Amino acid sequence: MADGKNEPKEFTGWRSIFWPIYSYELKKFLPMALMMMGILFNYSVMRGTKDSLVVTNMGAETIPTLKLWFVLPAAVLFMIAYSKLSNIFSKNTVFYIVTSFFLGYFALFALILYPFHDFLTPDWTSTMTSDFAKSLVTPVQGWVFSSFYVMAELWGSAMISLMFWRFANDVTSLKQSKRFYAMFGFIANGALIVSGEVLKTVKDVSLVSGITVAVCLIIIGLYYWLNEYVLTDPRFFNPDEIKKPKKKVKLSLGESMNYILHSKYLGYIVLLVVCYGISINLVEVMWKDQVRLLCPTKEEFSGFMGGLQIWTGGATIFFMLVGANILRRCSWFTAAMITPLMVFVTGLIFFACIIFKEALSPVVGACCSLSILEVIAYMGLAQNVLAKGVKYSLFDSTKEMSYIPLDDELKSKGKAAVDVIGGRAGKSGGAAINFVLLNLIFIGSKLAELAPVIAGIFVVILLLWFYAVRGLNVEFLKLTTTKDSQQ
Residue 14 lies in a domain: no
Residue 93 lies in a domain: yes
Q: Label residue 357 exposed, middle or buried (CB < 10 Å: 0-12, 13-18, 19+).
A: middle
Distance, in Å, from the CA atom of 166 to the CA atom of 326, rounded to the nearest integer, reads 23
Q: Would you state the pLDDT for residue 484?
A: 54
CB atoms under 10 Å from CB of 62, counted, come to 21
Distance, in Å, from the CA atom of 221 to the CA atom of 225, rounded to the nearest integer, reads 6
State the alpha helices, DSSP H only, in 239-356.
Answer: 253-261, 264-294, 298-329, 332-355
Domain of residue 409 covers: 27-240+253-477
Q: Would you state the pLDDT for residue 18?
A: 65
* Per-position DSSP letters for 156-196, written without gaps between them: IIIIIIIIIHHHHHHH--HHHHHHHHHHHHHHHTHHHHHHH
**Most confident option among 7-11, 23-27, 212-216, 475-479:** 212-216
* Per-position DSSP letters for 241-268, written without gaps between them: G--PPPPPP---HHHHHHHHHT-HHHHH
CB 170 within 8 A of CB 1: yes
CB 212 within 8 A of CB 45: yes
Q: Would you state the pLDDT for residue 52?
A: 85
Distance, in Å, from the CA atom of 198 to the CA atom of 195, rounded to the nearest integer, reads 5
Give whole-number Cα distances, 297 to 206, 284, 474, in Å: 18, 19, 49
Q: Would you state the pLDDT for residue 251?
A: 47
Residue 5 lies in a domain: no
Task: Pick the more confident residue, 310 or 111.
Answer: 111
- For the cut 90, the answer to whether the pLDDT of residue 31 exceeds it is yes
Q: Which of 285, 263, 315, 301 is nearest to 458 (CA)?
A: 285
Q: Which of 308, 47, 54 is nearest to 152 (CA)?
A: 47
Number of domains in the chain: 1
CB 66 within 8 A of CB 180: no
Q: What is the mean pLDDT of residues 267-291?
A: 89
Residue 309 lies in a domain: yes
Q: Would you state the pLDDT for residue 41?
A: 93
- For the cut 70, the answer to whether the pLDDT of residue 365 exceeds it is yes
- For the cut 60, the answer to whether the pLDDT of residue 487 exceeds it is no
- For the cut 80, the answer to whether the pLDDT of residue 229 exceeds it is yes
CB 448 within 8 A of CB 289: yes
- For the cut 80, the answer to whether the pLDDT of residue 236 exceeds it is no
Q: What CATH number did the domain enclosing 344 receive?
A: 1.20.1250.20
Distance, in Å, from the CA atom of 97 to the CA atom of 89, rounded to the nearest integer, reads 10
Phi and psi dihedrals of 468, rounded to 5? Answer: -65, -40
Q: What is the mean pLDDT of residues 33-37?
A: 93
pTM across the whole model? 0.69
Q: pLDDT tens digits for 173-215?
A: 777 777 787 778 778 777 878 888 888 888 888 999 999 999 9
DSSP 8-state secondary structure symbol assigned to residue 370: S
- For the cut 50, the answer to whether the pLDDT of residue 312 exceeds it is yes
- For the cut 90, the answer to whether the pLDDT of residue 96 exceeds it is yes
SS3 of residue 308 by DSSP: helix
- For the cut 60, the answer to whether the pLDDT of residue 248 exceeds it is no
Q: pLDDT tens digits for 49-85?
A: 888 888 888 877 788 888 888 888 888 888 889 888 9
Alpha-carbon dihedral 316, 40, 215, 229, rounded to 10 degrees: 90
- Report residue 1's pLDDT band, with 50, 70 and 90 as the boundaries: very low
Residue 340 lies in a domain: yes
Q: Would you state the pLDDT for residue 130?
A: 62
Q: What is the mean pLDDT of residues 374-400?
A: 87
Q: Which of 236, 237, 168, 242 is nearest to 401 (CA)?
A: 168
Q: What is the mean pLDDT of residues 241-251?
A: 42
CB 275 within 8 A of CB 468: yes
- Report residue 103's pLDDT band, with 50, 70 and 90 as the boundaries: very high
- For the cut 90, the answer to whether the pLDDT of residue 464 exceeds it is yes
Q: What is the mean pLDDT of residues 109-123?
A: 87
Q: What is the mean pLDDT of residues 298-308?
A: 81
CB 86 within 8 A of CB 412: yes
Q: Would you state the pLDDT for residue 124?
A: 62
Task: Pick the more confident residue, 193 or 483.
Answer: 193
Residue 183 lies in a domain: yes
What is the pLDDT of the chain when averaged over all its residues? 82
CB atoms under 10 Å from CB of 250, counted, come to 12
Q: Would you state the pLDDT for residue 290?
A: 87
Q: Would you state the pLDDT for residue 131?
A: 62
Q: First-to-last CA distance in the chain?
A: 14
Q: Would you state the pLDDT for residue 246?
A: 44
Residue 326 lies in a domain: yes
Residue 12 lies in a domain: no
Q: Which of 114, 142, 140 is nearest to 56 (CA)?
A: 142
